[in-house]
Amino acid sequence: MAARKAAENRENEILEAAIKIFSEKGYNAARTSQIAKEAGVAEGTIFRYFKSKEELLNKVMIRLTKILGNKLITHRINKIIKDNSEKGEREILKEILKDRIELIENHQDIFQIVLTEIQYNSELRDAFVNNIVMKGKDVISKFLEQGILNESFRKVDVAIVIRSFIGMVGMYVIQNRFLPEIIKMDKEKQIDEMVDLFLCGIKK
């Protein structure tokens, strides 16, 4: 029993070290020797728990989806809604949009790895859907459904609204990273315009 617990602890230490190194250096630049040093173990010890660097990445990604889902999706969005409950829907959406953009910008390497790997790894894809997509969908759905009940929002398909919102966040991050010259406007102004378009469309 004690030996099993020790093994679990050591595996967790390696996973935590791998998360840190992958986040700082990216997957391709990360070395198992760096992960071993961060975890305080010999490099060979890593391969007692994980057959390869790819298997270690897989376990890291599944764990990250749980961390991101609980701490960065459910908790943060709920907190934004609660902290801004006295404000109108426009301001709440603006705060959520800002938070989601900052979240992706601060964890771009991790999201890039996850989005690449889920194309080929069904286990990771299921973890990503259950821990991130569905949890985010549940929180935003409650907010939108409450707005529909309050008659602040018209009746629309919530799933399509969420898809549009996610697309808006994703395209902002991609455009700012690769084509920043397209929109020459400061971040705050862009977010204001995006929220207005999201809520009101472009019809005069």
Both 39 and 122 in a single domain?
Answer: no
* One domain, residues 7 and 81: no
- Co-location of 31 and 66 in the same domain: no
pLDDT digits (tens, 9 = 90+) for 42-68: 999 999 999 888 888 888 888 877 777
151-155's contacts with Cβ under 8 Å and 24+ in sequence apart are 152/88, 152/89, 153/89
Same domain? 106 vs 162: yes
**What is the distance between the alpha carbons of residues 138 and 59, in angstroms, rounded to a whole number?**
25
Question: Are 19 and 117 in a shared domain?
Answer: no
**67: containing domain:** 53-200
What distance in Å separates the CA atoms of residue 114 and residue 59, rounded to the nearest whole number?
Answer: 11
Note whether 66 and 7 are same-domain residues.
no
Sign of the alpha-carbon dihedral angle for 99, 85, 133, 194? negative
- Report pLDDT digits (tens) over 19-42: 888 877 777 788 999 999 999 999
Alpha-carbon span 187 to 162, nearest angstrom:
22
Terminal Cα-to-Cα distance of the chain (whole angstroms): 69
* Secondary structure class of 31 (helix, strand, coil): coil
The verdict on 29 and 79 lying in the same domain is no
Cβ neighbours, 10 Å, residue 105: 14
Count: domains in the chain:
2
45 and 67 share a domain?
A: no
Domain final position from 30, 50, 70: 50
The answer to whether 162 and 137 have CB atoms below 8 angstroms apart is yes
Give the Cα separation of 137 and 1 in Å (integer). Answer: 40
Q: With a cut of 50, which residues of the chain have pLDDT below it?
A: none
Do 58 and 40 belong to one domain? no
**Model pLDDT, residue 1:** 56
